[in-house]
Amino acid sequence: MNIVNFDKIKELAEGKKMSLERLANTAGFGKSTMYNYVNGTYQIKINELFAISKILDVNIGELLTVPAKTDEMHAEEPFKKYGDTCIECIKKQGVIDHLKDTLREKDAKISELELLCKEFKRK
């Protein structure tokens, strides 16, 4: 079971006259990646899910689903990381993880620019 409701994503995309392929391309990844997400082969990345929510003009929470019973959850799913944590906590943690990654990337870019500036000043 996937916490991302791809049926809802398909429905919203169809409402905007978009194929899943076009939605994937607009969100910045390929058709095969989208179908791997839909089939449960891979878990979608939070930044890609966020991009899809923006394209479909919905809150990211509208694209998620929660099993009716805890025993419907499988160990290999994202719930394993969070135990019996509520879906709101999972969404918040996903956003936090994404923001941490973004900050690390920006810090790396800043360090790179600082080095370039030092090299330029030496010349």
Q: What is the pLDDT of residues 16-26, one digit of tens each?
A: 999 999 999 99
Two structure tokens written together for 83: 């135990």
Topology of domain 6-122 in CATH is 434 Repressor (Amino-terminal Domain) (1.10.260)
Two structure tokens written together for 120: 């330029």
pLDDT in tens, 29-67: 999 999 988 888 888 888 888 899 999 999 888 888 765
DSSP 55-103: HTTS-GGGGB---SSGGG--TTSTHHHHTT--HHHHHHHHHHHHHHHHH
pTM of the predicted protein model? 0.54
How far is residue 103 CA from its own chain's centroid? 16
pLDDT in tens, 57-101: 998 888 887 655 554 445 445 444 444 445 566 666 667 777 777
